[in-house]
Structure 1
């Protein structure tokens, strides 16, 4: 994960189910990251995985 300044805001709408899935995932992570940090980690992971395609 990069140490770059996080100064770009991206508003998104999510369903109750999507938020619940994120909350479930983040509750299993060390230190329980914020929702924003959890979303950043999940996006980074998906982007890293897509490099192999």
Structure 2
């Protein structure tokens, strides 16, 4: 990824959402922080074929 200017983004989610994110990130070989895990999951979703 090219170095881009980043912007702060906040959102409120239920605890069950964070639990799913935490379960997913624990299965990753590098145990990404929550923010990175959410970025990866969004990218995966955006790239998925419909």
Give the TM-score normalised by the residue count of structure 2: 0.87
Q: How many Å separate the matches in 2 of 1:27 and 1:12? A: 22
Q: How many Å separate the matches in 2 of 1:12 and 1:20? A: 15
1:38, CA displacement in angstroms?
A: 0.1
Q: Matched residue pairs, number?
A: 50
Give the TM-score normalised by the residue count of structure 1: 0.82
Gaps of 5+ in 1: none
More RCO (CA 8 Å, sep 6+):
1
